[in-house]
Structure 1
Amino acid sequence: MKNVILFAAIAITSIGCAQSKENKEVPKAVKEAFQKGYPNTKVDWDIEKDGFEAEFKMNGKDASANYNKAGHKLATEIEIKETEMPAKALTYVSTTYPNKKIKETAKITDDKNVVTYEAEVKIDGKICDLIFDASGKFLKLHKD
């Protein structure tokens, strides 16, 4: 009998958790904003602390767009080749982290049309994003 009660309690808890995940769907306003900006584009959604991230392909490259809960696009990030990074940024990485290889690079455009660049590097066993302004000046280090 104890096993039946324990099983029932686990089943009820699992159903409750599944329902709470379903309630965290992407709001209609966010989906509509994405559709308007990127019509007929296949998208995978991630729920983030401050909003939602749409992951998709743009011109054959990995891309993402971040939206707040009201559907306002905050930023777009698109994968670029390392050679498309500002030269000053590449020099910074090679001199500051001489034994580190850049794993991924991206161009980020925020909602005010400000462009920044991101270089992903593994530092002390952790994936880190080095952020640069449009001219290649180092701005900050973001650890995942």
Structure 2
Amino acid sequence: MKLPFGLLAAALLLTGSASAQKLKAAQVPAAVVAGFNQKFPQAKEVKWEKEGSHYEAGFEQGKQEMSALLSAAGTLVETETEIQVSQLPAGVQATLARQYKGVKIKEAAKIVAAGTGTVTYEAEIEQGGKEVDLLFDAEGREVKK
């Protein structure tokens, strides 16, 4: 079974976040920093992490909290933009209400794969005392990690 690249990248990002390694800007390869600065010249308060073979920059752009995942060559893999829970598509909200009834959604984000433009949505919930990230397509179908 083939997964669209964007869904696979999002899943890898989320599964890798448990083992993310924080980095100082000086530890990030020059190609990665250059690729990031080219795509996000207005970024403020950039914080870096190593995610497997990729680098993740968490930052503010305008009034939005964002992150960008880049390859070691500095190529943009995907972007993640924090959104209000109310901005999740109706299908996602319906699935959450049906399958995770009574669970509070702590955060939401829109993830866009750079190569394909594939959009997925992330909902962070607390379940059993742990934070759990759930991924959905725009219709509300859960994407397995």
On whether the aligned pair clears a TM of 0.5, the verdict is: yes
Alignment partner, residue 75 of structure 1: 78
Structure with more relative contact order (C-alpha pairs < 8 Å, separation 6 or more)? 2
User: Are 1:138 and 2:139 counterparts?
Assistant: no
Superposition pairs of residues 87-126 of structure 1, within 5 angstroms = 87-111=90-114, 112-126=116-130
Percent of aligned pairs with the same amino acid: 38
Q: Which residue of 1 aligns with 2:33?
A: 31
Scaled by the length of structure 1, what TM-score is found? 0.77
The 4+ residue runs of structure 1 with deviation greater than 4 A are: none
- RMSD of equivalent CA atoms: 1.7
For residues 78-105 of structure 1, what are the alpha-carbon distances to aligned partners after superposition, in whole Å with 9 as ceiling and x for unaligned?
A: 0011111111111111111112100000
Contact 2:70 2:78 in 1 (8 A): yes
| TM-score normalised by L of structure 2 | 0.76
Question: How many angstroms apart in 2 are the aligned matches of 1:127 and 1:34?
Answer: 28
Displacement of 1:40 in angstroms is 3.8
1:32 partner letter: A
Determine helix, strand or coil for the equivalent of 1:69: coil
**Secondary structure of residue in 1 paired with 2:132:** strand
Which sections of structure 2, spanning at least 5 residues, go unmatched? 1-22
